[in-house]
Structure 1
């Protein structure tokens, strides 16, 4: 397995997304000079650069990226190199408009944003494999390369597509998952409302229906969409492992954000060489320092307790919430060091230099529009010095006092339509229990319901609506072995197919 700490020789990582393609080449030298002043040790490059790297089908222009990587290496800055597969070029969609995703009501998205991808589309898969192969072949031995960064924030903004390619793929997935159409009928309870199938060819994605559709079908489609994205990640990862052995491969998670509740990070955590996470505070009145700790604890737990890396957060305000206040003095350092204290191998930001154009020009950065004569820049430089001084903590592990059960499948099921009350929110229950533990100075690990719980004297179960028989047996063994189990309401209601458990 590749070395999982990209900064193992230099302590903790400090830096951010670097998008030199947005700026004249004359600016690059100034960028690197200021990076050195700020103590930057690693930057993420090339994540949205497919159209510049391959401006026409099979035509490649790597010269500019060569010069960027060489410049960074000459200045002692390591690179998290992206495969730009989150944003295919305009020419690709002109040739393959069917690769644009379709919503449940039949609307096809248009080109002009990011992440507009049907993950079942064979043309997209082939093109993604091709550009990944080209990058790996060219840069596998580049001395600046520390980490491969596949795609970007899978599931944001689109996780599921409902086109005909996805329908065919879904049928194959169901056949593998259930074996027979009779087993599918049993799992989905298709006797209700006359939904019985006699062949997999009759099954469609859960598209728009006159009233609520089959919840078990909708739940399986969440699983299918997640598995399909993961298939594409694994395909790129395997290319990189083959052509650039020894270089760890990751993709940036968003473990604690409701915007990315379409991804089962327990499953994804097993596929990456290094767990990395993006975390942005929600300015909605929550105690943000508690949210910071919770995000870090959840990410560390997805990493199995191993060191992980905060790959993105913001120096100040963001631009995509209804209201985006600037961070108060000292808040940036608090946010960064809170993650380091809970296992992160550093702190990186989106992005290095604040954009002048595009949708994220009002998103804060390490080098803001105001330049170096600004509070943000001075705090960035100070934080870089602090992160550098913390090099001895690299590779250390956090020991928790208590476990909280967390399951994305249960979250998916509970958030389907026609639940007992829209006021009941599984995430609210998890937040509330976590906050109570935090206020009692207890460090939390999150755990899968079927995972090993023997190390914890206390396990908390906040609204685990979907509970498998294996999970129930696991909790029973835990209590019989002397563990203390605290179970909140609306737990253990349904099985993995959203069928209510039979009574005693």
Structure 2
């Protein structure tokens, strides 16, 4: 039962989900009762259990010990706490690898990974698949009707830390996959362009995974292998899911995604979103100097979009600092609540954490938790308890949907293709463009949906394409229809260039986007390190501010598009830099250099005006206002990430749910605070 218009919710959970990964096996059993008492005190409604417990549940092949898990689930049920029960297939036991060392994955360089971490799995391994199916079936038969069971949690963070194995078993599996995708060795040769560098194959048996080669390997082969690796992980997920559906009908099955663009590059979440019953996500702040709350909003919007706009669930984030980045700062006072409620505003049906009690041993003992090493006399615990109380006041939002203003196109397979070697400039980064365009829309106080390039875009007045190197002919037709029917489109450089096999589209760049943009690109002209170009408005055009670009320029030939800004210097001096093409009832913009900050804001502001979206000038910087709406009403979330008190105008009176106070006209939002108003009418 893949998710649909109304995604399944955890069975028996009638409140927003609040809790975290619970690993009681790390503690003496007498601690469990203290844990459950504290869970009730904090307002915990659900915990995730058993995710890394295979070695305890099956200590020897075919010998099972479920007694401890029986007692735990019974304890949770008696205390009114629901269980998200894991299949522990991310961490096979030591005995399994001793019997099947070939199930450990092989790196591209031919190095066999060792046991002792997590996720060290060759997903093509038949013994692994059989063992995973067996432990999943054992759990399903035992706990399908347990009254604490709310949903199933298969595996953990597929693709982390590795997604691809390059062993001989994978080679056989890859050849079978190629038959399904291409049909014959001749079709593979055509798709991969093996006439180049004499790489032609006579039979599929001659094809191996794209292991390390003396120089750059075949890019189309590498792209297909990325698809194969992703599909192989998904095969294993669906095998476990189908067992659970068969033996525990009616219980939703999920696995935790990691949609934040920097954290899990190897998974095509558009494909995965169709396979889970309920989309769930893990999100951790990347503290590398970026505005972390903007990256958080982007990840939440992307997750909601993978869920088809339906409510989803934040299954993991952190109460404070993590432990796996070069520097791991603690969260500031109030930041955990803002992080949590930002996710809820953007569609999550709760906020859960890794983990409940901070570990004393192991690799993540310095990762924050709901119960920290400092215990309950700590800021973290007090903020956890306060958040639990606040979430308990927001049950009315369950089932409502986040309201978006615009869409951004994103495609993981395009990202994979663009990230391969020997592209025109190593300084061009698809993720950076997505982050930058999203930040500009965020700063204009627009809520953003993400969309697959071939999806129906008719609901959006504005669609932004920050980086779409790989674009199919259907994508080109889709975007043309969108603009002709009245949409406003903004496309960044190096988009529309190749097809699904990484072959350059016939004719001039930008391939399938030539018609909708009303131009061709004669030549790419990437800039040197640190080099910039100046953009000015051409003579006779409405005056605008000069802009500065870097990294990239195009030699643009207008074919119906008007020039809005021209290059004032560089190789394309005097030629168009930013264009606008009126097509049918709509407009398509093209930005042929890398713009950032106020320079990009200027262009997107004009596109926003074309789209008929009113400017939201009354909102302060770093104050996000997001709406959820549904049968229970309309809810406005105002989240103040700034250090100054602010006010937000309301278009209808209502009640502020966290304080219980009436709200009308102007809503006061103190620095660092969150307010949630249920609007009347």
TM-score scaled by structure 2?
A: 0.73
Asked whether the 8 Å contact 1:467–1:494 carries over to 2, the reply is yes
- Unaligned runs of at least 5 residues, structure 1: none
- Structure 1 residue aligned with 2:32: 28
1:262 aligns with 2:285: no
Alignment of 1:140-219 (within 5 A): 140-219=144-223
In 1, the alpha carbon distance for the partners of 2:278 and 2:114 equals: 33
- Structure 1 residue aligned with 2:527: none
In 2, the alpha carbon distance for the partners of 1:474 and 1:335 equals: 35
Asked whether the 8 Å contact 2:458–2:482 carries over to 1, the reply is yes
- Structure 1 residue aligned with 2:244: 240
> Larger % of strand: which?
2
Asked whether the 8 Å contact 2:106–2:165 carries over to 1, the reply is yes
Q: CA RMSD in A?
A: 0.9
Asked whether the 8 Å contact 2:85–2:153 carries over to 1, the reply is yes
- Structure 2 residue aligned with 1:382: 386
- Structure 1 residue aligned with 2:461: 457
Aligned-partner SS, 1:40 = coil
Match of 2:88 among 84, 87, 96: 84
In 1, the alpha carbon distance for the partners of 2:317 and 2:307 equals: 19
- Structure 1 residue aligned with 2:425: 421
- Structure 2 residue aligned with 1:10: 14
In 1, the alpha carbon distance for the partners of 2:286 and 2:20 equals: 20
**What's the CA shift string for 1:134-189, capped at 9, x where partnerless?**
00000000000001000000000010000000000000000110011111111101
Higher mean alpha-carbon deviation, 2-11 vs 435-444, is at 2-11
In 2, the alpha carbon distance for the partners of 1:9 and 1:111 equals: 37
In 1, the alpha carbon distance for the partners of 2:206 and 2:114 equals: 29
Displacement after TM superposition at 1:292 (Å) = 1.2
- Structure 2 residue aligned with 1:107: 111
Aligned-partner SS, 1:155 = coil
Aligned-partner SS, 1:136 = helix
1:485 aligns with 2:489: yes
In 1, the alpha carbon distance for the partners of 2:94 and 2:107 equals: 20
1:335 aligns with 2:344: no
**What's the CA shift string for 1:434-456, capped at 9, x where partnerless?**
11111111110000000010101
Aligned-partner SS, 1:428 = helix
Alignment of 1:322-401 (within 5 A): 322-401=326-405
**What's the CA shift string for 1:458-493, capped at 9, x where partnerless?**
110111011011111111111111111110011001
In 1, the alpha carbon distance for the partners of 2:162 and 2:69 equals: 28
**What's the CA shift string for 1:344-365, capped at 9, x where partnerless?**
0000000000000000000000
Change beyond 3 A, Cα 1:299–1:416: same
- Structure 2 residue aligned with 1:445: 449
TM-score scaled by structure 1?
A: 0.99
Match of 2:143 among 139, 143, 165: 139
Aligned-partner SS, 1:241 = helix
Asked whether the 8 Å contact 1:150–1:237 carries over to 2, the reply is yes
Displacement after TM superposition at 1:8 (Å) = 6.5
Highest relative contact order (Cα 8 Å, sep 6+), 1 or 2?
Answer: 1
Question: Highest Rg: 1 or 2?
Answer: 2
Aligned-partner SS, 2:401 = coil
- Unaligned runs of at least 5 residues, structure 2: 509-681
> Larger % of helix: which?
1
Asked whether the 8 Å contact 1:257–1:279 carries over to 2, the reply is no
In 2, the alpha carbon distance for the partners of 1:350 and 1:388 equals: 20
1:63 aligns with 2:64: no
Aligned-partner SS, 1:371 = coil
In 2, the alpha carbon distance for the partners of 1:124 and 1:158 equals: 16
**What's the CA shift string for 1:114-152, capped at 9, x where partnerless?**
000000000000000000000000000000000100000
Displacement after TM superposition at 1:257 (Å) = 4.0
In 2, the alpha carbon distance for the partners of 1:149 and 1:66 equals: 17
**What's the CA shift string for 1:400-447, capped at 9, x where partnerless?**
111100000000001111111111100010111111111111110000
Aligned-partner SS, 1:260 = coil
- Structure 2 residue aligned with 1:313: 317
Higher mean alpha-carbon deviation, 251-260 vs 73-82, is at 251-260
In 1, the alpha carbon distance for the partners of 2:340 and 2:39 equals: 18
Aligned-partner SS, 1:81 = strand
In 1, the alpha carbon distance for the partners of 2:110 and 2:289 equals: 37
